Structure 1
Amino acid sequence: MDVLRRSSAFAAEVLDVFDRSLTEKELVSQSKALCRDYILSRLNQNGLGWSKSELNLLPSSAALSEASLVLLCLGDELECMQPNLYKNVARQLNISVAMENMVSDAFISVSTELFSTGITWGKIVSMYAIAGALAVDCIRHGHPATVHIVVDSLGQFVRKFLVAWLKRRGGWAEISKCVVKRDLTPEQNWLSSAVESLKYFLTTVYVYVMKEQ
């Protein structure tokens, strides 16, 4: 009986350690760090070269660095499939990037609609692509402070809707399964998910604009 008690106590300790390694705070922090990485990449691609210090980028772990690389690879693929969809997002949504509350509300609304039928890695990448596109719009229109609002809004959304899903999958490491690691070529399951994401985002843009009119 004593052995069983000790075994149960050990199992509880192991589970407790596992849970602590995937806390809500850590997952949200990682998600925001990945968002900053994604935004920095998109700003640099558009010749808007921000520095890591301006986005408060901190050194990340090897695992998170790999997740960031995969996320950028998948984002590239998604944006190549529909290049016009992830450009001028603020105009598509009929919002002003000068109004921080409007940007935050729009991002949360679009993300909520995007995930209304379930969560997939494709939709998560789509959400990051939206964040990156909004950040580009903010800088181009002279409102750099709003970029941080985009990052914070993504963090809020992850905390409210995605933390449990990420936790069940062991965190961000699982996103690497969406690609062939040697050359980071997206697999077919990713492409199918991306097409689905695009369909829902197109619907979201229409619904959000109609609500604002």
Structure 2
Amino acid sequence: MVKLIRKMDPVGTRYIVVDYLNHRLSKNGHTWTHCPPLQDPPLKIHITMREKGDEFEDLYKIQFQDLVDQLHVTHDTCYPMFKAVVGELFQGGINWGRVVALFAFSGSLSTRCVEKGMAGLVDSIVDWVTQFIEQDLRQWIDQHGGWQGFVDFYSRRDQSANDDNPWVKYGVLGAVGVVVLGALMTQRT
């Protein structure tokens, strides 16, 4: 049987998601055996997303990991938790910081799934993130220059002395916190 490998557009959303999740898994010492082939060297969009995701996760590693640990991820709870966190994250609107937070959360969720013996969920997480971006964020992303706009935004930010507003970086932590609180309340009833 011949397996058909669908070539992904290296600047397309799905490729960016795959690249980022593979990066996070590799950085945490995991190999994603089902990862589609990736371009080497990576493009500027991939490098920028990796750097901003790393920065976000490194700044809030302990708090972020504690929250992800409390989610008690299983095959049955992973998607509802993902949807709840993402819904909370973007409830206040869309900005590039929240897009980075989406990738950071997805990277942590993927890592947690692999560590709990549910590596098959990584492919599902790729689908969920890609679908969410294409259905709910695509218009905003296009209005802000597409993925090149993301690169340009952070290039300008890196060249200026201003840092991201802290509330943008805390956005995903608040969303995860709401989900954790809800999950804990549900478990106690």
Q: TM-score, normalised by structure 1?
A: 0.72
Aligned to 1:154: 129
Which residue of 4, 11, 26 maps to 1:44? 26
Q: Structure 1 residues 126 and 188 mapped into 2: Cα distance closer, same or farther (>3 Å)?
A: farther
> Whose helix proportion is higher, 1 or 2?
1
Task: Report SS of the residue matched to 2:105.
Answer: helix
Q: Structure 2 counterpart of 1:38, which letter? A: Y
| 2:101–2:171 CA contact under 8 A, matched in 1 | no
In the superposition, relative to structure 1, how do residues 78 and 186 fare at CA in structure 2: closer, same or farther (>3 Å)? farther
Contact 1:67 1:176 in 2 (8 A): yes
Q: What CA deviation, in whole Å up to 9, does each residue of 1:25-65 have, x standing for no partner?
A: x99x82221111111111111111335xx2124549x9x82
2:182 corresponds to which residue?
211
Deviation of 1:169 after TM superposition, in Å, equals 2.1
Q: Which position in structure 2 is the counterpart of 1:164?
A: 139
- Matched with 1:192 is 164
Q: CA RMSD in A?
A: 2.7
- 1:201 is aligned to 172
CA contact 1:89–1:134 (8 Å) conserved in 2: no
Aligned to 1:144: 119
TM-score between the two structures when normalised by the length of structure 2: 0.80
Show the counterpart of 1:31.
13
Query: What do the CA deviations read for 1:159-179 (whole angstroms, capped 9, x no partner)?
Result: 221011011123100111233
**Which segments of 5 or more consecutive residues in structure 1 lack a partner in the other structure?**
1-25
CA distance in 1, matches of 2:60, 2:154: 19
Deviation at 1:71, TM superposition (A): 0.7
Q: Distance in 1 between matches of 2:66 and 2:52?
A: 20
Q: Paired residue for 1:56?
A: 36
The question of 1:76 aligning with 2:54 is answered yes
| Structure with greater Cα Rg | 1
Contact 1:89–1:137 (Cα < 8 Å) also in 2: no
Q: Distance in 1 between matches of 2:109 and 2:37?
A: 18
Distance 1:126 1:114 in 2: 8
